[in-house]
Amino acid sequence: MSRSPVPLPGPSSQHKLNVEQLMEEHGDYLYSFALMRLRDAGHAEEVVQETLLSAIQGQASFRGDSAVRTWLTGILKNKVLDHFRSLSRERALFQPDTSAADSTELFVDGGHWRNPPGSWGEEPDSTLARSEFYDVLQKCLVALPERLRGIFIMREIDGLSTGELCEALGITTSNVWVMLYRARMKLRGCLEINWFNDAADQG
């Protein structure tokens, strides 16, 4: 038998709720609420976490006029709206500047490179093991145009598929291919100048 939501203690209470307590009592409900609207487990978890942190930070102002779950749901609704607003801004930001000619020039049918990027000349494991490389890589990522940096991170770090990128950003498969190509080439050029050439000179 599930427990009924318990009113949140007011600011004068000696007992303050923490994130773990809120998650135990309301986490499943909040997650289901968010997942139904966002249709993405990762985003749902993120907005629930943000909701609970906001609740903890604002619990002193909660007067107890409603149940905790009702209060948390109100916060969560705002977090979900914030997510959609952010997504709308991203879609505006990621308006494609590519053309069908770009796609034909860079790719064959199926999205494979006509002239794939070559090796950077060093084994990734040995390079990425160095903290200095991470510093240079971070600077090169920051130097990328914002939309190229965003799509590169979502693909290579967050692991989104081409289809997921198309849906999230409102662009075509060809646009994704071209933008990723440009991001990789700019990143490669930056790393060749700031890391690989320096490493070769030092060698």
At 125-182, the pLDDT tens digits run 554 556 777 778 878 887 888 678 778 877 887 677 888 778 777 778 888 888 888 8
Which of 154, 173, 153 lies closest to 163, judged by CA?
173
Residue 8 is assigned to a structural domain of this protein: no
Which is more confident, 107 or 62? 62
Q: What is the pLDDT of residues 86-117, one digit of tens each?
A: 764 655 555 554 444 444 444 455 445 455 54
Task: Report whether pLDDT(26) > 90.
Answer: yes
Calpha distance 156→185 (Å, rounded): 14
Domain boundary among 77, 93, 109: 93
CATH of the domain at 198: 1.10.10.10
Q: Which residue has the tokens 């990734």?
A: 124
The pTM score is 0.44
The token pair at 82 is: 């914030």
Note down the domain range covering 40: 19-93
Residue 187 is assigned to a structural domain of this protein: yes
Domain boundary among 72, 93, 114: 93
Count of structural domains, the chain: 2
Question: Which residues lie below 8 Å from residue 100, measured CB to CB, with a gap of 6+?
Answer: 174
Stated length of the chain: 203
